[in-house]
Amino acid sequence: MALPVQAGPSEDQHQLRQYYQRLFPQLQLQDYGNGVYAIDVIARSSWLAIEEFPPYQPALEQGQVLFGTAFNNGRHYGDCFERRGIGIAHYYPRWDSQKGAVVTLAQAVNNCRIANRELPLDIFKGSMAELLAYMVFTSRGQPISVVIPDNDPRALLAYQQGKAFYYQRRGQLNFACATCHVQNAGKKLRSEILSAALGHTNSWPTYRLKWGEMGTLQRRFNECLAQIKAPVFPSSSIESNNLEYFLAYMGNGVNITGPSVRK
Protein backbone atom coordinates (compact mmCIF):
# COMPACT_ATOMS: atom_id res chain seq x y z
CA MET A 1 0.00 0.00 0.00
CA ALA A 2 1.54 3.30 -1.12
CA LEU A 3 -0.06 6.68 -0.55
CA PRO A 4 -1.00 8.55 -3.75
CA VAL A 5 1.78 10.89 -4.86
CA GLN A 6 -0.49 13.92 -5.26
CA ALA A 7 -2.70 13.33 -2.22
CA GLY A 8 -2.75 15.93 0.55
CA PRO A 9 -1.75 15.32 4.16
CA SER A 10 -5.27 14.75 5.52
CA GLU A 11 -6.07 12.29 2.72
CA ASP A 12 -2.76 10.48 3.32
CA GLN A 13 -3.53 10.21 7.02
CA HIS A 14 -7.04 8.90 6.39
CA GLN A 15 -5.89 6.27 3.88
CA LEU A 16 -3.03 5.05 6.06
CA ARG A 17 -5.32 4.65 9.05
CA GLN A 18 -7.89 2.78 6.98
CA TYR A 19 -5.14 0.45 5.78
CA TYR A 20 -4.03 -0.35 9.34
CA GLN A 21 -7.62 -0.73 10.49
CA ARG A 22 -8.08 -3.47 7.91
CA LEU A 23 -4.71 -5.02 8.79
CA PHE A 24 -5.14 -4.87 12.59
CA PRO A 25 -8.90 -4.68 13.29
CA GLN A 26 -8.30 -5.47 16.96
CA LEU A 27 -6.34 -2.25 17.56
CA GLN A 28 -7.63 1.18 18.56
CA LEU A 29 -5.88 4.39 17.53
CA GLN A 30 -4.15 4.86 20.90
CA ASP A 31 -2.72 1.35 20.79
CA TYR A 32 -0.27 2.45 18.10
CA GLY A 33 1.58 4.61 20.61
CA ASN A 34 2.97 1.34 22.01
CA GLY A 35 4.71 0.43 18.75
CA VAL A 36 5.28 -3.24 18.08
CA TYR A 37 4.00 -4.13 21.57
CA ALA A 38 0.50 -3.34 20.34
CA ILE A 39 0.91 -6.19 17.85
CA ASP A 40 3.22 -8.70 19.54
CA VAL A 41 1.33 -10.03 22.58
CA ILE A 42 4.25 -12.10 23.89
CA ALA A 43 6.74 -9.23 23.67
CA ARG A 44 4.18 -6.92 25.24
CA SER A 45 4.14 -8.86 28.51
CA SER A 46 7.94 -8.60 28.80
CA TRP A 47 7.82 -4.90 27.93
CA LEU A 48 5.20 -4.18 30.60
CA ALA A 49 7.36 -5.96 33.18
CA ILE A 50 10.36 -3.81 32.20
CA GLU A 51 8.25 -0.65 32.43
CA GLU A 52 7.63 -1.33 36.12
CA PHE A 53 11.28 -0.36 36.75
CA PRO A 54 12.08 1.48 33.51
CA PRO A 55 15.74 1.72 32.51
CA TYR A 56 15.11 5.22 31.15
CA GLN A 57 14.35 6.57 34.63
CA PRO A 58 17.94 7.75 35.35
CA ALA A 59 18.03 9.58 32.01
CA LEU A 60 14.66 11.16 32.74
CA GLU A 61 15.87 12.40 36.12
CA GLN A 62 19.13 13.68 34.65
CA GLY A 63 17.18 15.42 31.92
CA GLN A 64 15.15 17.29 34.52
CA VAL A 65 18.36 18.40 36.21
CA LEU A 66 19.88 19.55 32.91
CA PHE A 67 16.70 21.37 31.93
CA GLY A 68 16.72 23.33 35.17
CA THR A 69 20.44 24.18 35.10
CA ALA A 70 21.21 27.74 34.04
CA PHE A 71 23.46 28.57 31.11
CA ASN A 72 26.61 30.58 31.75
CA ASN A 73 24.66 33.78 31.05
CA GLY A 74 22.07 32.94 33.72
CA ARG A 75 19.25 32.08 31.33
CA HIS A 76 17.50 28.69 31.13
CA TYR A 77 16.05 26.37 28.51
CA GLY A 78 12.61 27.44 29.64
CA ASP A 79 13.33 30.99 28.48
CA CYS A 80 13.44 29.79 24.86
CA PHE A 81 10.05 28.07 24.75
CA GLU A 82 6.40 28.83 25.25
CA ARG A 83 5.05 27.48 28.52
CA ARG A 84 8.70 27.45 29.56
CA GLY A 85 9.17 24.21 27.65
CA ILE A 86 6.75 22.17 29.77
CA GLY A 87 4.08 20.14 27.97
CA ILE A 88 4.99 21.26 24.45
CA ALA A 89 6.74 18.22 22.96
CA HIS A 90 3.58 16.96 21.25
CA TYR A 91 3.56 20.06 19.03
CA TYR A 92 6.91 19.10 17.46
CA PRO A 93 8.27 18.97 14.83
CA ARG A 94 7.01 22.42 13.85
CA TRP A 95 7.10 24.48 10.69
CA ASP A 96 9.15 27.64 11.14
CA SER A 97 7.97 30.17 8.54
CA GLN A 98 10.88 32.51 9.21
CA LYS A 99 13.48 29.82 8.64
CA GLY A 100 11.40 28.21 5.90
CA ALA A 101 12.11 24.79 7.39
CA VAL A 102 10.93 22.08 9.75
CA VAL A 103 12.30 22.42 13.28
CA THR A 104 12.37 19.33 15.48
CA LEU A 105 12.37 19.52 19.27
CA ALA A 106 16.04 18.45 19.34
CA GLN A 107 16.89 21.21 16.90
CA ALA A 108 14.92 23.74 18.95
CA VAL A 109 16.93 22.73 22.03
CA ASN A 110 20.18 23.30 20.14
CA ASN A 111 18.89 26.60 18.74
CA CYS A 112 18.25 27.64 22.33
CA ARG A 113 21.79 26.69 23.33
CA ILE A 114 23.34 28.55 20.42
CA ALA A 115 21.24 31.66 21.16
CA ASN A 116 22.66 31.55 24.68
CA ARG A 117 26.26 31.08 23.48
CA GLU A 118 26.44 27.42 24.41
CA LEU A 119 27.76 24.66 22.15
CA PRO A 120 25.10 22.49 20.45
CA LEU A 121 24.60 18.94 21.67
CA ASP A 122 24.87 15.69 19.76
CA ILE A 123 21.25 15.19 18.69
CA PHE A 124 21.50 11.40 18.65
CA LYS A 125 22.22 10.50 22.29
CA GLY A 126 23.75 11.64 25.57
CA SER A 127 22.59 14.90 27.13
CA MET A 128 20.23 15.62 24.24
CA ALA A 129 18.41 12.31 24.73
CA GLU A 130 18.18 13.06 28.47
CA LEU A 131 16.80 16.56 27.93
CA LEU A 132 14.28 15.29 25.41
CA ALA A 133 13.26 12.47 27.75
CA TYR A 134 12.26 15.04 30.36
CA MET A 135 10.54 17.41 27.92
CA VAL A 136 8.65 14.56 26.26
CA PHE A 137 7.66 13.14 29.64
CA THR A 138 5.92 16.44 30.46
CA SER A 139 3.74 15.84 27.37
CA ARG A 140 3.04 12.17 28.10
CA GLY A 141 -0.63 11.42 27.48
CA GLN A 142 -1.07 14.39 25.16
CA PRO A 143 -1.97 13.69 21.51
CA ILE A 144 0.53 14.48 18.78
CA SER A 145 -0.65 17.78 17.28
CA VAL A 146 1.59 18.60 14.33
CA VAL A 147 0.37 21.32 11.98
CA ILE A 148 1.04 21.81 8.29
CA PRO A 149 0.07 25.46 7.66
CA ASP A 150 -2.30 25.99 4.74
CA ASN A 151 -0.87 29.42 4.01
CA ASP A 152 2.72 28.34 3.38
CA PRO A 153 3.35 26.06 0.38
CA ARG A 154 6.89 25.46 1.62
CA ALA A 155 5.47 23.54 4.60
CA LEU A 156 3.46 21.27 2.31
CA LEU A 157 6.57 20.73 0.17
CA ALA A 158 8.55 19.69 3.26
CA TYR A 159 5.78 17.24 4.17
CA GLN A 160 5.71 15.84 0.63
CA GLN A 161 9.48 15.43 0.65
CA GLY A 162 9.24 13.49 3.92
CA LYS A 163 6.53 11.33 2.43
CA ALA A 164 8.58 10.70 -0.72
CA PHE A 165 11.56 9.69 1.42
CA TYR A 166 9.42 7.22 3.34
CA TYR A 167 8.29 5.41 0.19
CA GLN A 168 11.50 5.62 -1.85
CA ARG A 169 13.64 2.49 -2.03
CA ARG A 170 17.33 3.02 -1.31
CA GLY A 171 20.52 1.30 -0.26
CA GLN A 172 22.06 -1.97 -1.40
CA LEU A 173 19.07 -3.88 -0.01
CA ASN A 174 16.66 -1.70 -2.02
CA PHE A 175 14.33 -1.14 0.95
CA ALA A 176 12.07 1.78 1.73
CA CYS A 177 10.87 2.67 5.23
CA ALA A 178 7.43 1.58 4.02
CA THR A 179 8.75 -1.83 2.95
CA CYS A 180 8.96 -2.84 6.61
CA HIS A 181 6.44 -0.65 8.38
CA VAL A 182 3.59 -0.50 5.86
CA GLN A 183 3.89 -3.34 3.37
CA ASN A 184 5.13 -5.89 5.92
CA ALA A 185 3.82 -4.47 9.21
CA GLY A 186 2.95 -7.28 11.60
CA LYS A 187 5.15 -9.79 9.76
CA LYS A 188 8.50 -11.12 10.92
CA LEU A 189 11.90 -9.97 9.74
CA ARG A 190 14.22 -12.65 11.05
CA SER A 191 13.00 -13.01 14.67
CA GLU A 192 11.43 -9.57 15.04
CA ILE A 193 7.85 -8.51 14.29
CA LEU A 194 7.71 -5.28 12.30
CA SER A 195 5.79 -2.37 13.79
CA ALA A 196 3.31 -0.10 12.02
CA ALA A 197 4.28 3.39 10.88
CA LEU A 198 1.36 4.95 12.73
CA GLY A 199 2.54 6.30 16.08
CA HIS A 200 6.21 5.82 15.24
CA THR A 201 7.30 9.17 16.69
CA ASN A 202 5.34 8.94 19.94
CA SER A 203 7.69 6.99 22.18
CA TRP A 204 10.96 8.81 21.54
CA PRO A 205 13.55 9.26 22.94
CA THR A 206 13.76 5.62 23.86
CA TYR A 207 16.00 3.33 25.88
CA ARG A 208 16.84 0.60 23.38
CA LEU A 209 17.99 -2.66 24.92
CA LYS A 210 20.21 -3.16 21.87
CA TRP A 211 21.98 0.17 22.56
CA GLY A 212 22.03 -0.15 26.33
CA GLU A 213 21.26 3.57 26.53
CA MET A 214 18.87 6.33 25.50
CA GLY A 215 18.73 7.46 21.89
CA THR A 216 16.67 9.78 19.74
CA LEU A 217 14.37 9.15 16.81
CA GLN A 218 16.88 10.46 14.28
CA ARG A 219 19.50 8.08 15.67
CA ARG A 220 17.05 5.30 14.86
CA PHE A 221 16.53 6.71 11.35
CA ASN A 222 20.26 6.49 10.71
CA GLU A 223 20.48 3.00 12.18
CA CYS A 224 17.77 1.83 9.76
CA LEU A 225 19.58 3.43 6.83
CA ALA A 226 22.84 1.75 7.83
CA GLN A 227 21.08 -1.61 8.10
CA ILE A 228 19.89 -1.39 4.49
CA LYS A 229 23.35 -0.15 3.48
CA ALA A 230 22.21 3.34 2.51
CA PRO A 231 23.97 6.65 3.29
CA VAL A 232 23.12 8.11 6.69
CA PHE A 233 22.36 11.78 7.30
CA PRO A 234 24.13 14.37 9.42
CA SER A 235 22.63 15.95 12.51
CA SER A 236 19.25 17.67 11.90
CA SER A 237 19.45 17.20 8.13
CA ILE A 238 16.62 18.49 5.97
CA GLU A 239 15.86 14.91 4.91
CA SER A 240 15.61 13.60 8.49
CA ASN A 241 13.59 16.58 9.68
CA ASN A 242 11.11 16.29 6.81
CA LEU A 243 10.79 12.54 7.38
CA GLU A 244 10.02 13.20 11.04
CA TYR A 245 7.48 15.85 10.00
CA PHE A 246 5.64 13.37 7.76
CA LEU A 247 5.64 10.60 10.35
CA ALA A 248 4.52 12.86 13.17
CA TYR A 249 1.62 14.17 11.12
CA MET A 250 0.55 10.61 10.34
CA GLY A 251 0.52 10.02 14.12
CA ASN A 252 -1.61 13.05 14.97
CA GLY A 253 -4.09 12.16 17.70
CA VAL A 254 -1.99 9.29 19.08
CA ASN A 255 -0.87 10.11 22.60
CA ILE A 256 2.76 10.66 23.56
CA THR A 257 4.07 7.55 25.34
CA GLY A 258 7.74 8.52 25.61
CA PRO A 259 10.22 8.10 26.94
CA SER A 260 9.92 4.37 26.57
CA VAL A 261 11.77 1.07 26.15
CA ARG A 262 12.26 -0.76 22.88
CA LYS A 263 14.31 -3.77 21.83
- Active-site residues, by number, are 224
Closest C-alpha to 167, from 148, 156, 155, 180: 180
Closest C-alpha to 250, from 172, 178, 169: 178
The sheet carrying 206-208 orders its strands as: 213-215, 206-208, 260-262
* Neighbouring-strand partners of residue 207: 214, 261
Closest C-alpha to 196, from 27, 66, 10: 27
What type of residue is 229? K
Please give the Cα distance from 124 to 262 (Å, whole number): 16
Grouping H, G, I as helix, E, B as strand and the rest as coil, residue 6 is coil
Q: Are 131 and 109 in contact (CB under 8 A)?
A: yes
Q: Where are the alpha helices (DSSP H) in 69-126?
A: 105-115
Please give the Cα distance from 160 to 38 (Å, whole number): 28
